Structure 1
Amino acid sequence: MEWLWVLFGVVIFLSFTIEAVTGFGSLVISLAIGVLFLPLEQIMPISAALNICMTSVIAFKNRQSLDNKLLLNVILPGMLLGTIVGFISKDGIDDALLKQLFGVLIIWFSTRELWRMTHQHQDKPRPIWLTRLLTVCAGITHGLFASGGPLLVYAVAGTNIDKARFRATMAFVWFSLNGFLTVVFFIEGQLQPLLIQVLWYLPLVVMAIYFGNLLHNKVNENTFRKTVYSLLFITGFILLISRYLS
């Protein structure tokens, strides 16, 4: 079992490096790959706690660019409501089905992003009620898998938000929600047995941020993103059929 935690450490380093390069993916990638060999209920608290370290720095540095109106009126209320619903619902869903649902989410996200990049598609503005609905759905997936990013990015892409405000606002959302989830995991006693892993992986997160920042200006981000989305698609497909592989 110990070598699996070492392997998950490699996954943590890779996923946080990817986020440092592209600005997305530390949670969805670490969970999508990690759940192939470790239980979701163990790696969710670890990934959520580690994500706070990265997003807190980004959120603080870019706090002047926050879109407070969108954050307070739309994103946080919807995400918080959805996260609570998803977290409560998680215990009533079979683990194998949970993996398959996660796989469907990852396949949808990776396919959409690959199609969007290939066709240079730009999302059109949406009515506010649809943005709110999508935000609640993103919160539900965050409560279930600690991975509300795909749906939330889709929801916010339909608003008139620029790149700087988008990055700052998303960082604050993940810092807030993952902080909330980490507290819940602690209260329920899920985090305490995993604190040693969190401490061991912290230096890997710091190294990943440093390494990712070095790579940021040295790699073709478009090609890099396509590679990551392709990896996510394959991982999502494996999760989808995981019930039949065991």
Structure 2
Amino acid sequence: MELLWILFGCIILLAYTLEAVTGSGSIVIALSLGVLYLPFDKILPILVALNICMTSVLAFKNRKSIDRKLLLTVILPGMFLGTLAGYFAKPYFDDVILKQVFGLLIVWFAARELWRMYHQHKDVNRPLWLTKTITFGAGITHGLFASGGPLLVYAIAGTQIDKARFRATMVFVWFTLNALLTVAFLIDGRMQPVLINVLFYIPLLVVAVKLGNYLHEKTNEQHFRVAIYSLLLMTGVILIISRYLK
């Protein structure tokens, strides 16, 4: 078991390094790889707590760039209600089914991003009601997997927001919602058994940020994104068929 947690530490280092390079995706990457051999309920609280450590600093540094109108009228209401719905619905799902649903989400997201990059596709504006509906769906996936990013990015891509405000707003959303999930995990008792793991993995975040910043300056970000999405695509397929591999 100790070896598995060491391996999970390597996954965390990889995931947060890639987030430092590209700006997003740490929980999606770490959860999709970690859940192949560790249970959801063990690793999800760890990843949520670690994400708070990283996003709290970024949210404070970029607080002036946050799009408050979009945040307060569209993102937070839908994400908050959706996260609560996903959190309370999770106990009614079998772990194997959750893995497959998560795998489907990962495959859709990775395939969509690879297709967009290949075709240089640009999103078009959507009606406000559709953006709010997709945002609520993103909240549900965040409550289930702490991975609302794929759907939320898809929802917000159809609005008029520049890159700087988009990044600052997303970071604040993850900090807020993951703080909410952390409180929920403390209340339901899932956080306490893994607090020692969180403390053990925190130094990896420092290494990941420094390594990610170095790689961001020295390598082609486009190549990194192709590698990430290809890895996620393969991992999603494995999650979908995991019940048939036993």
TM-score w.r.t. length of structure 2: 0.99
Shift of 1:58: 1.1
Hey, which bits of structure 1, 4+ residues long, moved more than 2 A? none
Q: Determine the C-alpha separation between the residues in 2 that align with 1:41 and 1:153.
A: 25
5 Å-filtered alignment, 1:131-170, equals 131-170=131-170
> Letter of the aligned partner of 1:206 in structure 2?
V
- After the TM superposition, which residues 28-177 of structure 1 pair with which residues of structure 2 at under 5 Å, given as runs? 28-177=28-177
CA distance in 2, matches of 1:36, 1:219: 29
Q: Which amino acid aligns with 1:236?
A: G
Q: Which residue of 2 aligns with 1:5?
A: 5
Amino acid at match of 1:82: G
Deviation string for 1:1-45 (max 9, x for gaps)? Answer: 111000000000000000000001110000000000100111000
| RMSD over aligned Cα atoms | 0.5
Q: Partner letter of residue 93 of structure 2?
A: I
Letter in 1 for 2:52: I
2:53, 2:171 → 1: CA distance? 11
**Letter aligned with residue 115 of structure 1:** W
Cα distance in 2 between the residues matched to 1:206 and 1:87: 30
Once the two structures are superposed, residues 120-148 of structure 1 have per-residue CA deviations (whole angstroms, 9 ceiling, x without a partner) of: 00100000000000000000000011100
The aligned residue for residue 17 of structure 2 is 17
Q: In structure 1, what is the Cα distance between the partners aligned to 2:235 and 2:206? A: 25
Q: Are 2:191 and 1:191 aligned? A: yes
Structure 1 position 55, deviation (Å): 0.8
Identity %: 66
- 1:212 Cα shift? 0.5
Structure 1 residue 210: deviation in Å?
1.1
Q: Give the alignment of 1:159-238 within 5 angstroms.
A: 159-238=159-238
**Partner Cα distance (1:22, 1:110) in 2:** 14
Task: After TM superposition, give the deviation of residue 109 of structure 1 in Å.
Answer: 0.1
Distance 2:213 2:76 in 1: 29
Q: Which amino acid is the alignment partner of residue 35 of structure 1?
A: V
Equivalenced residues, count: 246
Letter in 2 for 1:138: A
Matched position secondary structure for 1:122: coil
Output one character per residue of 1:161-185: Cα deviation in whole Å (capped at 9) or x when no partner.
0000000000000000011001100
Instruction: Give the C-alpha shift of residue 206 in structure 1.
Output: 1.2
TM-superposed deviation, 1:53:
1.0
Amino acid at match of 1:136: F
Matched position secondary structure for 2:124: coil
Deviation at 1:214, TM superposition (A): 1.0
Distance 1:197 1:31 in 2: 15
In the TM superposition, what whole-angstrom CA distance separates every residue of 1:94-130 from its partner, at most 9, and x where no partner exists? Answer: 1100000000000000000000000000100000000
Please, what TM-score do these two structures have when normalized by structure 1? Answer: 0.99
CA distance in 2, matches of 1:206, 1:155: 31
Q: Which runs of 5+ in 1 are unaligned?
A: none
